[in-house]
Amino acid sequence: MIKPESIENLKSIIDVVDVIGNYIQLKKKGGNFTANCPFHSEKTPSFVVSPTKQIYHCFGCGVTGDAISFVMEYEKLSYPEAIEKLANLYNFQLEYTKNPPTLHRNILEKINSFYKQNLIHNKEAFNYLKERGLHENIIEKFELGYAPSSQEQLNFINSSNLPLNEAMELGVFAKGENGVYARLIERITFPIFSNNNKIIAFGGRTISNHPAKYINYTNTKIFNKSKTFYGLNFAREKILRSKEIIITEGYMDVIMLHQAGFENAVATLGTALTIEHLPILKKLNVKIIVAYDGDSAGINAGIKASTLLAQNGFEGGAVIFKQGFDPADMVKNGEDLAPIFQNKTPFIEFVIKETINKYNLKNPHQKELAFNEIKNFILSLNPIIQDDIAEFASPLLGIEKKFFKIKQNRIQYSPSQNKKIDLGEATIIKTIYENRHFLNDVAEYLSPHLLKQHSEELQLLYQEEFENPKILDIVLRDEVLNKRSQDLETYYRLNGAIYICKTDKLLEAKSFFLKDKIQVCFYQILKMIF
């Protein structure tokens, strides 16, 4: 945990104009600076940054805050992540109450420097990258290196006075029957970065005929490969600007796509897209393109990823590169990938069509299997769209729609006007309901038991039971605040965010840092309410 006094010291040196100027172009106007708001579309600048007050405000959408809140909102970071991001920007050394990550990071950063030096002096490894089509500037950008023999790496650790036990905890070394050995041996190395550009792990690619083409670190206390996207630290800004992310299968795909100008590309790490990746994607709140190889493994991975994304309500589509090519190969061959990404197939359509392609519909048994698989997929989707999807799938399968037996689940619900509600708590629930990408952030700090009347409804919301009648009873009421509504009394607009701050539970909080995080949470809620 970052020390509160360290955060305050950082706040004293950061400048809101400098920080925001790193992200958007500001123009001087009198004593302030103006720009087109980065949080909503506009032609006339209404976004104002005040150097004297150290805040920003948009007169168009109403967003307001300081340098920290801007970084949080713009980069979709948590409060601690934004603090560390700003600390790096200002070369400020944060202090931690316990378990400071400095030493760990130093170990991995020093090892990475060692790997990079080895790449420079290893002609075979460097030539391999050149033959794959990588330019020297992209090799430098992604900090690629080369891991020599295990003994050479152990010698480096010893000569650098780095603790071997901590290097083992971080995944650099492992212990076997014959003693300690390096996980990556005679491989191209790919450092994996956190959101704050700190190395948290490595991946490696053999340049020989080793049966394991790629090796990734096992999970450590600072790295979980099922919750990490390779290249996200490089791609984040472009993702947020373009409102779109490209998800590929491997390191080389990401690097070559960035080289070709698709700087919103990332990759999963030796695993398929999993449910653990979804919170990251929800937080980014962008459209998604899954782009996989055209072989059978790539198609199956595309089906699984598209199924998962469709079931969870994500927008976007899938791209499968034909003839067995992968994105890296196509970039090297000079292929224009822009039309391919533009012509992506929507997730639901992709799943249905590719599922049908797995079966021979002329064979009755195969046709039955295809029908059952597609029907189960349709039933896993939002009930509101199931009937429409069945109508789409019916002619493709050559099976009448009635055989799908999709129930009509369109919502026809009117709230019970006789039930009393707490307008303050209801405001919070409705605001979160209408801003579901913010759900995970709120859930981290706002426990249902803090609500006196609507704790059950908030719990249902956290469980993503959005069509539950108890939730709808709140969100469909006219008297409950609509997002950014300006026609209600100030009391109602503020009460929803302030209510919980007045509870005894929060007032009893002893930790200043906890209170600070809570304030940030409710500040975000206030922004949405206004």
SS3 245: strand
Same-fold call for 4-89 versus 423-529: no
Q: Tell me: pLDDT of 483 over 60.
A: no
pLDDT over threshold 60, residue 485: no
pLDDT band of residue 133 (cuts 50, 70, 90) is very high
Domain segments of the chain: what residues?
4-89, 102-223, 227-353, 359-404, 423-529
pLDDT at 419: 65
pLDDT, tens digit (0-9, with 9 covering 90-100), for 190-219: 999 987 788 999 999 998 878 888 998 888
What 3-state DSSP class applies to 351? helix
Tokens representing 34 are 């103006």
Q: Give CATH for domain 102-223.
A: 3.90.980.10
Distance CA(240)–CA(285), nearest Å, equals 9
pLDDT tens digit string along 52-68?
Answer: 888 999 888 888 888 99
DSSP label at residue 101 = S
pLDDT of residue 122 exceeding 70: yes
Which H, E and C letters describe 356-422, residue by residue? HHCCCCCCHHHHHHHHHHHHHHHHCCCHHHHHHHHHHHHHHHCCCHHHHCCCCCCCCCCCCCCCCCC
Domain range 227-353, its CATH number among 3.30.9.10, 3.40.470.10, 3.40.640.10, 3.40.1360.10: 3.40.1360.10
Is residue 233 predicted with pLDDT exceeding 70? yes
Residue 222 is predicted with a pLDDT of 84
Q: Which CATH superfamily is domain 4-89 in?
A: Zinc finger, CHC2-typedomain (3.90.580.10)
Q: What is the pLDDT, as a whole number, of residue 345?
A: 96
32 strand-pairing partners = 29
Residues 244-297 pLDDT 10s? 999 998 899 999 999 999 999 999 987 789 888 888 888 788 999 999 988 888
Return all residues near 365 (Cβ < 8 A) that are at least 6 apart: none
pLDDT, tens only, 15-49: 899 899 888 989 988 889 999 998 888 888 999 99
CA 430 remoteness from chain centre: 24
Instruction: Give the whole-angstrom CA distance, residue 298 versus residue 249.
Output: 8
Which single residue is written with the structure tokens 């359509």?
349
Q: Does domain 423-529 have CATH number 1.10.860.10?
A: yes
Give the mean model confidence (pLDDT) for residues 406-421.
Answer: 55
pLDDT score of 75 more than 90: no
pLDDT of residue 521: 53
Average pLDDT over residues 129-156: 95
Q: What's the mean pLDDT in 110-120?
A: 96
**pLDDT at residue 154 tops 80:** yes
With CA atoms as reference, report the closest residue to 497 among 510, 486, 481, 512: 481
Residue 24, Cβ neighbours under 10 Å: how many?
16
| DSSP secondary structure, 246-314, as one string | EEESSHHHHHHHHHTT-TTEEE-SSS---GGGHHHHHHHT-EEEEEE-SSHHHHHHHHHHHHHHHHTT-
> What backbone torsions phi and psi does residue 150 show, to the nearest 5 degrees?
-60, -40
Q: Considering only residues 405 and 501, tell me which one the structure prediction assigns the higher pLDDT.
A: 405
